[in-house]
Amino acid sequence: MDTLKKLEVLSEASQYDLACACGTGKNDRRQRDGAGHWLYPVPLPQGGYSVLLKTLLSSACANDCKYCPLRSDANAKRCTLSADETAKVFMDYYRRRIVFGLFLSSGVIGNPDRTMERLNGTVRLLRRKYGFKGYVHLKIIPGASDAAVEEAVSLASAVSLNIETPGEKYFNKLSDVKNFTSDIVRPAKLMSSLTTKGTQFSRVKCTTQFIVGAADENDSDIISYVDAVYNRLNFQRVYFSAYQPGLGDRSIPGEQRFELNPEDHLTREHRLYQCDFLFRQYGFEKSELFFDDSGNLPLDRDPKQVWADKHMHLFPVNLNKASKEMLLRIPPIGPTLAKKIIKLRKIHALHELSEIGLKGKNAKKALPYVTFS
């Protein structure tokens, strides 16, 4: 294959790794360019969006991750880009202002450190040969040595390591080769220590991803790990990828116990993202989430709605007097709308939901929870 054909294959293969900006809003959805490459929108600090070129260096892989369509025994298209090919293609995109940055991952080429050398080497070329000072997100390969992780952190704007499952019990269902403690926990802790506040690389952001449904884990287990990722490791983001039946080995629980229909799997992923947002933007604690008897989040209502319905003694909330914290507990009200309410009520008393921009279904949803006097 020529470089562009390989990039098309590898960009397509990278879609399963969501540990970078990706969402459900109209501005967050990934898109293809004319050559078939995946471009991922990311919010910029100064406002607005730009896009990342996202690709793998190689679709060859020595690992046996049983949920992954690129695992060693899977029938997948295999090809590999050199560091120089990748750097040249990216710089061409960058100079034409198609993208502002790069997300670079890879299948495991031989062993973790050999793969990390290729990943790090690509970024070394961009930084030193081409003088690129912009955004690069590098994937940390499970099992990479401390030295390889440290170099990645020194070169990148952001790094990510997929934790994959909430704990060793589930992890062992998906791989006979990797070790949860040495290949996942060890490098994750190192990433945290290298990027903690006050260190040389505190500017570098850390993220991770969970594969939801492949190992038959429940939502409560995942949320416990998400809480630890934020409060112990101090990572900036957690991503969730619903396992897609048919992609993995038929022996894994996600294939054997397929109790949800495809739409429900995506709804489950969405509920986890909502919980993540409640942690990061609404001030919720893990203890404030409610699970059913099987340890899973209800699919028929979002977790904030469930909390509100369990605490009806706190409602209705007076929109003219309530604190920002309490405004954020009203089901249809988010951070932007809460700020708008606080700003408007300093000018005049609020009398109806249309004044704050709530109409139709959202206004109907809010009515049981609000009052104006």
This model's pTM is above 0.85: yes
| Same domain, yes or no: 346 and 268 | no
Percentage of residues of the chain with pLDDT beyond 90 = 74
Give the pLDDT band of residue 21 (cuts 50, 70, 90): very low
CATH number at residue 244: 3.20.20.70
User: What pLDDT does residue 29 have?
Assistant: 47
Residues 6+ apart with CB under 8 A from 72: 61, 62, 63, 64
CATH number at residue 356: 1.10.150
Is it the case that residue 249 has pLDDT exceeding 70? yes
38-43 and 49-56 strand pairing: antiparallel
Is residue 128 within 8 A of residue 96, CB to CB? The reply is: no
| Same domain, yes or no: 234 and 317 | no
- Min mean pLDDT across 25-29, 138-142, 318-322, 329-333 is at 25-29
Q: Distances in Å between the alpha carbon of 11 and those of 15, 81, 125, 339, 340?
A: 7, 11, 20, 39, 40
Distance CA 203, CA 226 (A): 21
Percentage of residues of the chain with pLDDT beyond 70 = 88
| Same domain, yes or no: 190 and 284 | yes
Give the pLDDT band of residue 45 (cuts 50, 70, 90): very low
| Same domain, yes or no: 39 and 180 | yes
Q: What is the mean pLDDT of residues 67-86?
A: 92
317-318 and 370-371 strand pairing: parallel
Preceding peptide of 316 cis, ω within 30°: yes
Q: What is the mean pLDDT of residues 231-244?
A: 92
| Same domain, yes or no: 18 and 112 | yes
| Same domain, yes or no: 335 and 244 | no
User: What pLDDT does residue 51 have?
Assistant: 75
**Residue owning tokens 């109409």:** 359
Asked whether residue 303 is domain-assigned, the answer is no
Give the pLDDT band of residue 1 (cuts 50, 70, 90): confident
> Any alpha helices (H) in the chain, and if so which ranges?
3-13, 83-95, 112-124, 146-155, 168-171, 186-195, 219-231, 253-256, 262-281, 303-310, 324-327, 335-345, 360-366
| Same domain, yes or no: 136 and 260 | yes
Is it the case that residue 5 has pLDDT exceeding 90? no
| Same domain, yes or no: 15 and 121 | yes
User: What pLDDT does residue 245 have?
Assistant: 80
* Per-residue pLDDT reduced to its tens digit, 207-227: 999 999 999 899 999 999 999
Q: Which domain holds residue 327?
A: 311-371
User: What pLDDT does residue 23 have?
Assistant: 44
Asked whether residue 306 is domain-assigned, the answer is no
What is the number of domains present in the chain? 2
- Residue among 60, 52, 64, 84 nearest 9 (CA): 60
| Same domain, yes or no: 175 and 268 | yes
Is residue 151 within 8 A of residue 198, CB to CB? The reply is: no
Helix axes of 83-95 and 3-13: crossing angle, nearest 10 degrees? 90
* Per-residue pLDDT reduced to its tens digit, 83-131: 999 999 999 989 988 888 999 999 999 999 999 999 999 999 999 999 9
Q: What is the mean pLDDT of residues 180-190?
A: 98
Distance CA 305, CA 331 (A): 5
Q: Distances in Å between the alpha carbon of 323 and those of 50, 151, 205?
A: 34, 45, 31
